[in-house]
Chains A and B, each alone.
Chain A
Amino acid sequence: MEALLYQVFSGLANGIIYGSVALALVMIYQATHHINFAQGEMATFSTFIAWWLMQEGWGYWAAFFITVGISFVGGLLVQRIVLRPIEKAPVLTNVIVFIGLLLIFNALAGMLFDHTIKSFASPFPKDSFLATKYFSAHQIGSAGVLLVVLFALFAFFRYTSVGLAMRAAAQNPDSAKLVGIRVSWMLGLGWGLAAAIGAVAGMMVAPIVFLDPNMMAGILLYGFAGALLGGIDNPLGAVFGGLLVGVLENLLGAYVIGTELKLTVALVLIVGTLTLRPDGLFGKKVVTRV
């Protein structure tokens, strides 16, 4: 029983990270109806920026917020410069460009910060008051950070007019234009937010798995699985999806398949969700009258 609980809690702790990545993916999907294959590499690159800032002497939280800010602007610029010209192009063109971005960010990380594995500080040291029997201080801290991000996003979308405008632009860009919304900028905003969230996810993951250019590859897959499981258009669902994936990964790994096929578990979850329940567990079914 003890072992089972441990697996569940450990899964939840991992799930928090997957949930953050899933959240970033859903953010871009909601805004642009595209899946950002480069999300993992962007998050890794952001984490490298934070690492570099700390190497240059900045304190953790200063580096954290500066990185989030830079990532936001970076995501916005990527959308404005690289993606806007192909907004109306076919899906294949967009997918290819996303893969191109994936490669470029990965290469940039390698070229600027080399391939040696680096350690990344956690703002929640091991002996902090946060540590409990089942969760380390870092895991509780990360969960707290993610919750703050979630609340901020929820408030943004629910209570601000820009948030409402973003939702409108994503659902019905034509009508959004007619009420004076600059739809193109809303897409950029979506990318900026996703990049910022990805940066947070990267900075929460790096202390655990150590920082190198390929840090996020496997985690991205779990993020996809979580986003799909929760419903690709539902931010809260994405977080739950991520938690669920984390728990399933551990339970299936410990009791069913063995720990070596974890990525296959993610694959099965993705394919299974896409074919059996494409709206995910919490995806909104929008009612439209003809």
Chain B
Amino acid sequence: MKPIDKKWAWIGGLLLLAVLLVLPFLVKNYRVFQFNLVMVYAVAILGLNILTGFNGQISLGHGAFYAFGAYTAAILMDKMGMPYWGTLPIAFVVCFAFGFLIGFPALRLAGHYLALATFALALAVPQLLKYKQIEGITGGVQGIVLSKPEPPFSFRFLDQPFSADRWLYFFTLAVTALMFLIAWNLLRGRVGRALIAVRDHPIAATAMGINLPVFKSMTFGVSAAITGLAGALGAIVVAFVSPDSFTVNLSIFLLVGVVVGGLASIPGAIFGGIFIQFVPNIADEISKSAPAAIYGLVLIAFMYLLPMGVMGGIYKLWFRLRAKAPG
């Protein structure tokens, strides 16, 4: 990168950071809550993207991992009094284990069969969560009500109090940044290339020394872990879990987020998160079915016009502009 470019990159980055830090105090509490959800969804979409975008294993059931993560966090906080920040690593590990285990039968399923199996998983999860035998732990149909963590210190800034939602904003921002950093590092190097190699040329990948079954299961595990962590984070942010929050719609929305942001794009996950958080809010005003209609049209339109999502479109534009610029 030219020195001038680097300088602009630094300035841009610092500006962005400043905006992000001040943002929660510029808007109302409810808007902050929505921003928190955007970040949670972005992490969930990131997880799904690793599996489906980078590795080509189609999952229509990632809502299940999100739900497991959410319930893990909720149960740990509610029944065992664990502090909220402690639940995140545990949710990560638990969901990794689930994903890794599911990864093994998934090995034998390709393409639409895997989509079908994960679709079935997504459809079955709410019923499982309502199961009377485990009601003691899961809270059954009513779910589990949690309380939002209080911020560690209080102050006012720009005439807004440092509320629970604002504290959670910074907490979520930190966790999200961490997850994106981990994903970025993981996918940029050998692992990323291996993922894509396995997706596009599995036989050649094996010939190059990649242990296919272990690798694919690991990918499933990591993907589930990240989405599960997002679920745990979501439970903390929303302070409530119930079976009907995790229907098959969630899995479909995550897929929409991946498509909108861009398959195999890390920053795209943020666009995806923004999309699936705010579009239903706006569309709901038109009619109850409008969000579904918009998502359906978006999925089809993007496959036709923008198969690499918003990020893909931005890259294309960027390259076209650069090609025209002198020097």
Contact = CB atoms under 8 A, between A and B. Distances in A.
In the complex, A touching B (Cβ < 8 A):
yes
Contacts of A263: 123-124, 127-128
A96 to B, nearest CB: 5
B280 interface: no
Interface of A: 34-35, 37, 82, 85-86, 89, 91-97, 99-111, 115, 213, 217-218, 221, 224-225, 228, 258, 260-264, 266-267, 270-271, 274-275, 278
Count chain B CB atoms within 10 A of each CB in A103, A225, A266 and give the residue with the most: A103
A36 to B, nearest CB: 10
Contact of B299 (A89, A96, A111, A262): A96
A254 to B, nearest CB: 16
Interface in B86-116: 105, 108-113, 115-116
A218 B119 CA distance: 11
B120 A85 contact: no
Nearest to B127: A263
B121 interface: yes
Contacts of A218: 123
A217 B124 CA distance: 11
Interface stretch (B4-12, B160-168, B220-228, B282-290): B282-290
B248 A217 contact: yes
A115 B288 CA distance: 9
Given A35-B112, A270-B117, A96 B259 contact: yes
Nearest to B130: A260
A89 B303 CA distance: 10
A101 to B, nearest CB: 7
A268 B327 CA distance: 61
Contacts of B121: 267
Given A108-B293, A270-B120, A275 B112 contact: no
A97 B127 contact: no
Contacts of A95: 58, 60, 111-112, 115
B254 to A, nearest CB: 11
A93 B303 contact: yes
B56 interface: yes
B297 interface: yes
12 contacts: A37-B119, A82-B300, A89-B303, A92-B52, A92-B56, A99-B60, A100-B296, A106-B289, A213-B289, A228-B116, A263-B127, A264-B127
Contacts of A103: 252, 292-293, 295-296, 299
